Structure 1
């Protein structure tokens, strides 16, 4: 991939002897037509940037600032309540949306209607947030955003196992990792630039996200191709959307555990990034001006390592070693602010953490798709494995808030996060059918 933002690199040839996912099935899909795959590659980076752009602007800056203005004395508790509830809603929504999109059959494909509808409704809800004047109503509107945007985001992620051959998924994982980091950076930059005018900030975020996703749906249109049979649909099956048997699919279970541990370590500190700069580093009101700087240094690291990790993993035919290495690097980055609680320490932590995230993100989505049990249920199974992201988001803010209250500071979060990250690297070693 061209780091300067040009066209995606030529797609690498498939490895004819590569193993299938955790179910042991042979690769079920035929190689996608070259033109369709290249259109998807062109759209994949900006498409994967749009939603992180929105989440970074809202969760990273705008919502935190709005909560602090509405409830300055109780901002830590209120923000923890909002972010935790939002993550819990994501936990509930994604598996069900995944199953519903699996069973959708339209002339526009089974994922595109969900992507389009979720993006339009989500953008409208984001625009409303700037007008809210109470924590309770802010929570309600934000949960509408979470519900609608996740109804688009999960079906979009299912396009990779739907349409990308296994041996090319490292490239797409790298495009996604760089896009996600770029979106996060731009979201925080825009939110920080509009922090004095929250309504303008929310409207700007909504419009950018909507325009990008409309372009994504058009450019990555789902071509007519045979679809797997629909699964039986019932309320029992809908409830079963939240479960994949780890005994029957042990690799799925270990990848779930690895992601859960590593991301829990990450969200312990990430959920309170602005407040760490304000209170732990001591920047006070100046902290909001440093958020874009931390994002820039993180993005630079992610760009360099995320751009090469996925294609390299495709060439080597290996995924696990990259996840293991990333967990150790990320743990090191977490420990830096504990021993060096300064702006320079935070910046160095973001550089090292960016390296870790670049390595992890460049192979994570590829590894994740290679342990999905069945093609017919890719959306549902992605929804389940994405709980390893949603659960840490739900649990970490409450755990972190309790630890901050109990200890009177943020210091304890850093070593605990590092231990969890290392544990995540160890768990991936038990995956057997993906190298």
Structure 2
């Protein structure tokens, strides 16, 4: 094992740096999904082919990230540089992400655009991962909840600011908008690296494992660390429910016969729900730390999202769906904050935190791929079984995944209970 010199960042400074890094690395990818990527694709293939190409780009990127994100986490854990492995990838990820985004922005063919999009997701994901990984490494466990709550607020707030800026400069060409996003992210990522202290590697001696041995130990032992797998399953199930909301646009068309303008207005009515998600995440994080209980919050939040899916299934008006969306954001915000704190607590080791967190994060991409694959079949089956638009059955199935998410939390040890030694 190489020699390491541990440095701990003052809590407030770490919080500011990590929130900057998180918000500015997650927001660009979210903002791309709000039309910027679509318009850039239209520039290359035209309006008529944009839908098909956008779906292909999203599908390829999802598969790419499911494979590469855990590998990236493992590489980050094994990085040995004097500036510290987390800071190194905050800088490298920001610069690599900027170059990838430039490739995406000025691509003149679909293959080049896909390469740029995949790499931008990978490198920005490395910045995000590094900001998450400093928590189990440098923050006291009794503060995990409040930190996760504030982390959960970082991305939505940055996205809201980004949306406002894009709205103000709506007439600016899409490529100039993308350039502005690139510059802001580089500033945020580098600022995070400056503010956060990191473990410095000062030696060069480390016994290398064989490829087979490394592959065998890539996923934490289910027998030795069962709570890790339970935590991964609860994330996967709740993310399947959340991914199902990508069908809301088609739901509005099929059940309520709304046009494009009406749907855009409905989306605008729902946008304040983001702040409710932020507030519930901060509240859940702080209170769970205070009472030293995480599982009740995670289970309650998952059940709230399930009830919302049932409400969507039987909704007879758009207003009912909008109200349900607010409750869903409340539940999902609390779930995300407290569950992230729970994950930080049950990670098998600090040494491999990046890899283990990256494996957890692949549940987002995996759940999205699952929903995109099964949604049309579930809706068609629902139409056949229930004789309606198919969405009653679809949302009831999503409610089932929320309930499963709550149930698989039960075997995870609570704070203070006996756990495997890290």
Alignment TM class, shorter chain as reference? 0.7 to 0.9
1:210 aligns with 2:191: no
Aligned to 1:150: 125
C-alpha displacement at 1:368, in angstroms? Answer: 0.7
Task: Kindly tell me the number of residue pairs found equivalent between the two proteins.
Answer: 403
Aligned to 1:419: 400
Aligned to 1:253: 229
Aligned to 1:8: none
TM-score by length of 2: 0.83
Residue 99 (structure 1) aligned to one of 64, 67, 74: 74
Distance 1:337 1:324 in 2: 20
Equivalence map 1:17-96=2 (5 Å): 36-66=10-40, 70=45, 77-96=52-71
Residue 176 (structure 1) aligned to one of 142, 145, 151: 151
Choose 103-112 or 146-155, whichever is displaced more. 146-155
C-alpha displacement at 1:283, in angstroms? Answer: 3.2
C-alpha displacement at 1:170, in angstroms? Answer: 0.9
Larger Rg: 2
Distance 2:390 2:21 in 1: 35
Distance 2:265 2:110 in 1: 24
Cα pair distance change 1:64/1:377, threshold 3 Å: same
Distance 2:286 2:207 in 1: 34
| Cα pair 2:307 2:399 within 8 Å, conserved | yes
Aligned to 2:420: none
Cα pair distance change 1:97/1:241, threshold 3 Å: farther
| Cα pair 1:326 1:357 within 8 Å, conserved | yes
Distance 1:137 1:193 in 2: 30
Cα pair distance change 1:44/1:373, threshold 3 Å: same
Choose 165-174 or 98-107, whichever is displaced more. 98-107
Cα pair distance change 1:149/1:279, threshold 3 Å: farther
| Cα pair 2:148 2:338 within 8 Å, conserved | yes
Cα pair distance change 1:75/1:335, threshold 3 Å: farther
CA RMSD of aligned residues (A): 3.3
| Cα pair 2:81 2:201 within 8 Å, conserved | no
Distance 2:346 2:232 in 1: 10
1:381 aligns with 2:362: no
C-alpha displacement at 1:399, in angstroms? Answer: 2.5
Choose 201-210 or 59-68, whichever is displaced more. 59-68
C-alpha displacement at 1:303, in angstroms? Answer: 2.4
Runs of 4 or more above 6 Å deviation: 405-410
